[in-house]
Every structure is written in structure tokens, then in C-alpha cells.
Amino acid sequence: MEELIPGYLWIFPLADREANVGLAMRSDKISERKYNLKHNLQRILAENPAFKDRFAQAELVDDIRGFGLPMGSKKRKLSGERYMLVGDAGHLIDPLTGEDIGNAIFSGVIAADQAIACVQAQDFSARFMRGYDRRIRRVMGRELQLGYVFQRMMFYPRLIRFLMKRVYNNRFVMDFLQDIYADSQKNWVKQVKRPLFWWKVFWGGGKREAGPEW
């Protein structure tokens, strides 16, 4: 749905034939377009051919509520004297997917390690705490950076459609993206600068194994 770009509509099935349904969009675009998320969520579900039959008998069982998602689009300072910011407080949400449960838990683990190191060294200074920032950047920096690149690419729907076709049918690209997200592709920035990478994207890379159709 182009009106939601760069955002999305989600439907999470719940128990007892209920579902959590919502819209997400970047806050600067909401203000720029004067886009009313609550109103448009109801309009889309009632009118869009992809949803209207599915939601024809649906009943609203709760208030529609809004939440802000602090995205990790920029590099931010995550600690200082006697404090560390974890999860949403540290803006660690993936800018593409809006997800952060994993990063919130992981940053908590890293913060606990740092806290142990601080107690052992009896050093709670901003300088010593920087070890936390460095580790977060090492573990999550690439993923957040890539998420932001993809999020900005969403402004170009034609490019996205073209790339999705390539990605979907190209085993090399699928594996490459999966490795970045799984953190096992350490030097992806270097790789994408190589002509061979782009040759594999457009002309090679092997076929994807047959899977479910979207």
C-alpha cells in the first residue's frame, strides 16, 4: 500500500479468533502528510480490497491506541557516569521492522556484563561505561544501520519491487541478507563495493529452493 510507505500494516493472530491489528509509519511522515493513523486504519480495513472481506464481520474489542517507537536510525550515546540505556530507552529498535524485543534483551545482558565490570573495577565513570556503547555497536550497529538503509529505500516502491523479485529468486542475495541479520556476515560493506557482488545479484547467485508462495 503506497500510502503507508515507509510503514506497514500488521495483523497478529491472537487466541479466540482475535487479532492485534495496527498501522506503523515514521512520525515525521505522519506530521508532514497530516496522516491520522486511527482513522486510516479503520478506513483501510473497511475499504481496501485486500482486507474488506476479511474484516467485514470483525468487531473492535478495545480502544485504538498509539505508541512511539524509538528507532535506532542514528548513532546515539548509550551511557554516561553511572548509567546505561537499554532497549527502547537506548533507541535500539530496528528502523525497518520496528522490532526490538531481541535487542532489548541482548542490551540488558550486555549492560549486566558492564555493570559487573564496573563493580569489579569500582569505576562507574562515563569513560569506563563507554565499553557498553562499544559492545552494543559491535553487536547491533550493523543491523540497525542496514535497517535504516532499507527503510529509506522504501521511499522508492519501484526499486523495492524490482529488488524483491531479484532477492526472492536469488539464493546468493537471500543468504547474504540472512547472514547480515544473523551477524555472521562481518564485512558486508566491503562486499557490496565489489563488482563481483553486483554480478551475483543481477546475473548469478543460484536459484532459491522452492518454498511457499507469497
Which CB atom, from 93 or from 180, has the smaller least distance to ligand FAD? 93
Is 143 a residue that touches ligand FAD (CB under 6 A)?
Answer: no
H or E stretch at 119: helix 101-121
Residue span binding ligand FAD (CB under 6 A) among the ranges 37-45, 99-107, 146-154, 158-166: 99-107
Residues 35, 38, 42: CA angle, nearest 5 degrees: 110
Is 62 a residue that touches ligand FAD (CB under 6 A)?
Answer: no
DSSP one-letter code for 90: G
Is 44 a residue that touches ligand FAD (CB under 6 A)?
Answer: no
The DSSP-derived string for 12-57 is EE-STT-EEEEEEE-HHHHHHHT--HHHHHHHHHHH-TTTTTTTTT
Amino acid at the residue 144: L
> What is the smallest separation between the CB atom of 55 and ligand FAD, expressed in angstroms?
18
Which of 166, 139, 172 has the alpha carbon at shortest distance from 153? 166
Is 101 a residue that touches ligand FAD (CB under 6 A)?
Answer: yes
- Quick one: which of 6, 88, 110, 176 contacts ligand FAD (CB under 6 A)? 88
Residue span binding ligand FAD (CB under 6 A) among the ranges 36-44, 94-102, 114-122, 145-153: 94-102
Binding stretches for ligand FAD (CB under 6 A): 22, 67, 69, 87-89, 93, 99-101, 104
